[in-house]
């Protein structure tokens, strides 16, 4: 029976890849997966030192880890991160599509460069990484997307491009669940609300308004989002589902 608790060792012997795992939700997820017994690969673009620190902390937990420089906007690097993970760690059981970029602003101010960058990372890169991962996974494989609360409620202007890109992942998740279910592979998506990270700090200039939009009146933590991801990494009878970890942002 699936319950919202985990105990050390539930992912023992599993290999996980967390894209964008050098900081924030990605780093917290990598560490929680390692605490549950998984070996972990993380990708990064510019956060080499952060990725190295995650590797050290995972290894301190007694698990194997590797940091891979891979830009999800690059089709070859996005898919190649899966191959490099399997070469370094001997397989792949859990993929967490966490890497993402956000460009916020008025609709008439969004350039073609903005559109291409966001869709390349948030949609195409996720699709290609998931496609490559599915080819390596057997029964028990897990594909987990990191979406956003803005797919369920857009509280104001300026989020058109970001919400569009992340909404595409909901359709991808449900389609993957149907296609991969017969092989015993699940696909789910987690929608974080305002989350305290260096990209969007709870003490930042726009934080008060974001917190006020949640039912709990506060930012979430990266660890709270990571807990849901870790649960899904071990859950057997959950697939094609959306999980809001948003403090009631969509309530």
Q: Over the stretch 229-251, which tens digit does the pLDDT of each residue have?
A: 999 999 999 999 999 999 999 88
Would you give the distance in Å from CA 166 to the centre of its chain? 11
pLDDT one-digit tens code per residue, 97-119? 999 998 889 999 999 999 999 99
244 with 224: CB under 8 angstroms? no
**What pLDDT score was predicted for residue 206?**
85
The beta strands (E) that lie in the chain are given as 15-18, 39-44, 65-69, 94-97, 142-146, 186-192, 195-196, 220-221, 242-245
pLDDT one-digit tens code per residue, 173-231? 999 999 999 999 999 999 999 998 988 899 888 899 999 999 999 999 999 999 999 99
pLDDT one-digit tens code per residue, 38-90? 999 999 999 999 999 999 999 999 999 999 999 999 999 999 999 999 999 99
75: which strand partners? none
**What pLDDT score was predicted for residue 88?**
98
The single residue of 8, 44, 162, 231 carrying the catalytic annotation is 162
67 with 54: CB under 8 angstroms? yes
| Residue 2 pLDDT greater than 60, yes or no | no
Q: In 3-state terms, the chain is what percent helix, strand and coil (to 5)?
A: 45, 15, 40
**What pLDDT score was predicted for residue 44?**
97
Please tell me the distance from the alpha carbon of residue 170 to that of residue 13, in angstroms, as a whole number.
Answer: 29
Does the structural domain 15-245 have CATH classification 3.40.50.720? yes
What sign does the dihedral 85-19-34-10 (CA atoms) show? negative
pLDDT one-digit tens code per residue, 117-166? 999 999 999 999 999 999 999 999 999 999 999 898 888 888 999 999 99
162 is catalytic: yes
**What pLDDT score was predicted for residue 104?**
87
Domain ranges of the chain: 15-245
Would you give the distance in Å from CA 144 to the centre of its chain? 6
């Amino acid at each position: 029976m699936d319950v919202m608790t985990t105990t050390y060792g539930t992912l023992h012997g599993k290999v996980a890849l967390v894209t964008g795992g050098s900081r924030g939700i990605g780093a917290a997820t990598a560490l929680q997966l390692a605490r549950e017994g998984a070996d972990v690969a993380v990708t990064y673009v510019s956060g080499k030192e952060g990725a190295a620190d995650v590797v050290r902390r995972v290894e301190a937990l007694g698990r194997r880890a590797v940091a891979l420089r891979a830009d999800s906007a690059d089709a070859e690097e996005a898919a190649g991160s899966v191959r490099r993970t399997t070469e370094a760690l001997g397989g792949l059981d859990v993929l967490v599509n966490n890497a993402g970029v956000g460009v916020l602003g008025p609709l008439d101010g969004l350039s073609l460069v903005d559109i291409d960058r966001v869709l390349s990372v948030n949609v195409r890169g996720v699709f290609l990484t998931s496609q490559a991962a599915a080819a390596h996974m057997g029964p028990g494989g897990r594909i987990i997307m990191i979406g956003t609360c803005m797919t369920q409620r857009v509280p104001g202007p300026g989020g058109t491009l970001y919400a569009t890109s992340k909404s595409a992942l909901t359709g991808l998740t449900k389609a993957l669940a149907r296609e991969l279910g017969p092989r015993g592979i699940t696909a789910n998506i987690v929608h974080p609300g305002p989350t305290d990270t260096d990209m969007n700090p709870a003490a930042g200039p726009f934080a008060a308004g974001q917190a006020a939009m949640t039912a709990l009146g506060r930012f979430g933590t990266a660890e709270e989002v990571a807990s849901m991801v870790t649960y899904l990494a071990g859950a057997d009878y959950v697939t094609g589902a959306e999980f809001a970890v948003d403090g009631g942002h969509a309530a």
